[in-house]
Structure 1
Amino acid sequence: MSSQRETRERVTMSTDWYEPYAISLGIRTGNLLFVSGQAGFDETGTTVSPEFDAQARQTFANLRRVLEAGGSGLEHVVKVTIFVTDISVIDQVIALRREFFTLPYPADTIAEVSALARPDWKIEIEAIGLIPDA
């Protein structure tokens, strides 16, 4: 057993869109950052567009913001889980992964789900990132 006590630190920002739902944007523990699922909404919580590509790009932007607030970044992501409401967008998701992530690409799970937390969301991404200076 380790003699060190487990520590968890909540990641938050001035605009914490998950606070009303009792969800942390992210949790830091050791050199890992666990990021809650991000979707295609802006700082006010409004879904940016009904179009998949616009939502997906905003989702990656939100993911980047939370990772950076927690001391990590897209280049330090080791695992992502991507939920989509229509698996036919798989080629778009692969193209976005190539655009936003770098080699070695993170481990990934992608799954089609019947719905996300809001009926107009088409994509949600959660991630685990390394904190390089931890």
Structure 2
Amino acid sequence: MKMSDKKEILNSDKAPEPVGLYPHARRVGNLLFLSGVGPRKRGSKEIPGVTLDHLGNIAAYDIEAQCHSVFENVRHVLEASGSSWDKLVDVTVFLTNMQDDFKTYNEVYARYFKDNQPCRTTVEVNALPTPIAIELKCIAVVDG
């Protein structure tokens, strides 16, 4: 099998468990494709910066706290998969409230990505699968 044909399914023991039948990442050749990563904490339904009401609906949220958490989770997946933050080449960001959250998200993003500036696309979506306000879909390079 040529290296370009090599396909590996990879998971992190630090990132939150997937909410469906998919891996945290999949390596094909020297590229690493991450599934959507949100801010949830591993081993719980806790979402940093989110307050739910008694029915499980979002009562309040802090986009800055969610940004920090989602970036940390992406880092966990990258490191568990043999890559690193500085090897990100493309980031797609999904926000549920572009009007209210873009400015804060953009400021936090700039701190994390000041040294590595991957291509980026940011889109607003109506909802995400869990009560979160941000999710990232990333592509990175893996050495070897």
Give the Cα–Cα distance (whole angstroms) in 2 for the partners of residues 101 and 83 of structure 1.
17
Give the Cα–Cα distance (whole angstroms) in 1 for the partners of residues 25 and 39 of structure 2.
17
> Match of 2:120, as an amino acid?
D
Count of matched residue positions in the alignment of Structure 1 and Structure 2: 129
Deviation at 1:104, TM superposition (A): 4.7
User: Any residues of structure 2 matched to 1:102-117 within 5 Å, and which?
Assistant: 102-117=114-129
SS in 2 for 1:38: coil
* Superposed CA offset, 1:10-46 (max 9, x none): 111335601x621110001111111111111101242
Give the Cα–Cα distance (whole angstroms) in 2 for the partners of residues 10 and 41 of structure 1.
21
Say whether the 8 Å CA contact 1:75–1:102 is kept in structure 2.
no
Q: Bigger shift: 6-15 or 105-114?
A: 6-15
RMSD: 1.8
Give the Cα–Cα distance (whole angstroms) in 1 for the partners of residues 75 and 106 of structure 2.
17
Deviation at 1:82, TM superposition (A): 0.1
The 4+ residue runs of structure 1 with deviation greater than 3 A are: none
Compute the TM-score of the two structures, normalised by the length of structure 2.
Answer: 0.81
> Match of 2:22, as an amino acid?
I
Give the Cα–Cα distance (whole angstroms) in 2 for the partners of residues 129 and 102 of structure 1.
17
Compute the TM-score of the two structures, normalised by the length of structure 1.
Answer: 0.87
Give the Cα–Cα distance (whole angstroms) in 2 for the partners of residues 14 and 57 of structure 1.
19
Say whether the 8 Å CA contact 2:49–2:65 is kept in structure 1.
yes
Partner of 2:90: 79
Say whether the 8 Å CA contact 1:12–1:26 is kept in structure 2.
yes
Give the Cα–Cα distance (whole angstroms) in 1 for the partners of residues 106 and 48 of structure 2.
21
Give the Cα–Cα distance (whole angstroms) in 1 for the partners of residues 108 and 133 of structure 2.
15
Identity within the alignment, %: 28
Partner of 2:108: 96
Say whether the 8 Å CA contact 2:12–2:76 is kept in structure 1.
no
Say whether the 8 Å CA contact 2:64–2:105 is kept in structure 1.
no
Structure 1, unaligned runs of 5 or more: none
